[in-house]
Amino acid sequence: MTTFIIAVLLVIGVNTILWSTVGAVRLLVGRFTPRPSGPAPRIPTRADVAVIVAAHNEELVISKTIASASAMLPIENVFVVSDGSTDDTSEIATAAGATVLDLRPNRGKAKALSALIEEFDLASRFEIVLLLDADTQLAEDYFDTGLPLFADESVVAVAGRASTLPEAEVSSLTGRIVIAYRERVYIAMQYLHKFGQAASRVNAVTIVPGFASMYRSRILGDIDIEATGLTIEDYNMTFEVHAKKLGRIAFHPLAAIALTQDPNTLRDYTKQVGRWNLGFWQTVRRHGPHRGAFWAALGLFIAELLASSVLMLVFFPLLATSIVVAVIDANDGDAPTAAAAFVAVLPPLAVALGVLLPDYVLTVIAAIVTRRPLYLVWGAVFPLLRTVDAFLCLRALTRAFNNSATGTWKSPERRAVQAVQPLRT
């Protein structure tokens, strides 16, 4: 029983239990708290928003991304920086009506974004800046749901909610499973973690994802966007908000939704996740420990991340060993043996159920949220992908403390988007 409980806690996570509870309390308080009287707070309008897109060789997707944004606000508010692109990214973005900055050579996403903001003086011209990835499309209610979160003056950033862009042309079974698994990760982290972390008295959101999130322009000068030695910028920008006490980060799973093109091959998936993990550990190394709720929550997350990663790496070998030893013990009769002692500590059923059952619960939640019952079938192989994640996490940890990064980047392989959809989730 002890083995089962420990495994469940590591797979589901103390963090999941904690932040899900905080999120549930947040929902209850919000439902029963009366709306404040008096004049309504000012909410930024779409005209107050600049959309900035950093792109490197994104000719297959950039026009649809620009069209998604310009369908909701003036095209004059859309700015693209082509960072050392060798394809037609710059020309396509210009033809789509966006204001384009063509940088050469490749500087990296963070430096490209910083150059774009400075070149067009965006922090002074616009109240809100939306960072949008070149492969991402906004849900049609992105601004209607996201901008009201800025009604609270203490909110300096609104974290976008990620969802997977549905693509009919993904025909391989591996591709569909990888994309489904990524969707499950999104749901688990955003519904079960981030919503609770964004409670006003907690303010412990770990990342404002750079794929489609908004910042108040007035804090951009206080954020070291192009910090050296980092593979990605969004973790660092989030940590900067907390370290410098710039304000609160807001998030709601039904607000500021955007759909992104996720990898549909295992090779591209491992490259992307490896890059994300490396960026996370590099940011942890750069900032180090601080006092406060966010840093305490981050410490708990890191401890659990490391423990669960080790568990997932040893799970399948441990399960196989437990089964073999149990068979040996069954053939040894009733006499006490080393095999019997091993099975008493790590019984095969407890090991299997302790990992596979709570993992499948996450799949059930994802299937309900997305209304995709096929996830219940594919969920049988999701533990294998969690093992891949565990390996990538621990490998990135060793790399982050032994290597630096130039920040230059190469976008994953893109698939052409057929048409801008009326995206609403």
Secondary structure, 3-state, 336-370: CCHHHHHHHHCCHHHHHHHHHHHHHHHHHHHHHHH
pLDDT value at position 170?
A: 63
Lowest mean pLDDT among 73-87, 320-334, 386-400, 402-416: 402-416
Decide: 78 and 70 in contact? Cβ < 8 Å. yes
The residue-averaged pLDDT of 259-282 equals 93
Tally the C-alpha atoms within 13 A of residue 93's C-alpha that lie toward its C-beta.
31
DSSP state of 1: -
Tally the C-alpha atoms within 13 A of residue 68's C-alpha that lie toward its C-beta.
34
The residue-averaged pLDDT of 23-29 equals 93
Which residue, chain included where needed, has tokens 């909610």? Answer: 161
pLDDT above 60: residue 273: yes
pLDDT value at position 161?
A: 96
**Whole-number mean pLDDT of the chain?**
90
Which residue, chain included where needed, has tokens 């619960």? Answer: 361
Radius of gyration, alpha carbons of the chain: 23
The number of angstroms, rounded, from the C-alpha of 62 to the middle of its chain's C-alpha atoms is 21
Task: For residue 13, name the pLDDT band (cuts at 50, 70, 90).
Answer: confident
pLDDT value at position 40?
A: 77
pLDDT above 70: residue 412: no
Rounded Cα gap, residues 217 and 234, in angstroms = 16
pLDDT value at position 310?
A: 95
Rounded Cα gap, residues 82 and 93, in angstroms = 9
Residue 98 or residue 31, greater confidence: 98
pLDDT value at position 413?
A: 64
- Above pLDDT 90, what percent of the chain? 71
pLDDT above 60: residue 421: no
- Above pLDDT 70, what percent of the chain? 91
**Of 136, 138, 82, 69, the residue nearest 109 (C-alpha):** 82
The alpha carbon dihedral of 71, 59, 98, 408 has a sign of positive
**Of 385, 369, 338, 424, the residue nearest 181 (C-alpha):** 385
Task: For residue 7, name the pLDDT band (cuts at 50, 70, 90).
Answer: confident
Task: For residue 408, name the pLDDT band (cuts at 50, 70, 90).
Answer: low
The residue-averaged pLDDT of 181-190 equals 96
pLDDT above 50: residue 423: no
Decide: 258 and 234 in contact? Cβ < 8 Å. no
Which residue, chain included where needed, has tokens 């299997």? Answer: 352
pLDDT tens track for 296-311: 999 999 999 999 999 9
pLDDT value at position 406?
A: 61
Lowest mean pLDDT among 91-100, 135-144, 394-403: 394-403
The residue-averaged pLDDT of 116-142 equals 96
pLDDT value at position 269?
A: 94
pLDDT tens track for 133-148: 999 999 999 999 999 9
Partners of 132 in the beta sheet? 53, 212
pLDDT above 70: residue 418: no
Residue 176 token pair: 């569909």
Residue 70 token pair: 């310009």
pLDDT value at position 344?
A: 79
E strand or H helix that includes residue 376: helix 375-378
Rounded Cα gap, residues 117 and 98, in angstroms = 14
pLDDT value at position 261?
A: 87
pLDDT value at position 8?
A: 79
DSSP state of 192: I
pLDDT value at position 417?
A: 59
**Three-class secondary structure of residue 157 per DSSP:** strand
Task: For residue 339, name the pLDDT band (cuts at 50, 70, 90).
Answer: confident
Q: Which amino acid is at 320?
A: A
pLDDT tens track for 206-247: 999 999 999 999 999 999 998 888 989 999 999 999 999 999
Decide: 425 and 186 in contact? Cβ < 8 Å. no
Rounded Cα gap, residues 74 and 46, in angstroms = 8
The DSSP string of 205-234 is: -----TTEEEEEGGGGGGS-TT-TT-S-SH
Lowest mean pLDDT among 63-67, 104-108, 331-335, 414-418: 414-418
Task: For residue 411, name the pLDDT band (cuts at 50, 70, 90).
Answer: low
Residue 122 token pair: 């965006």
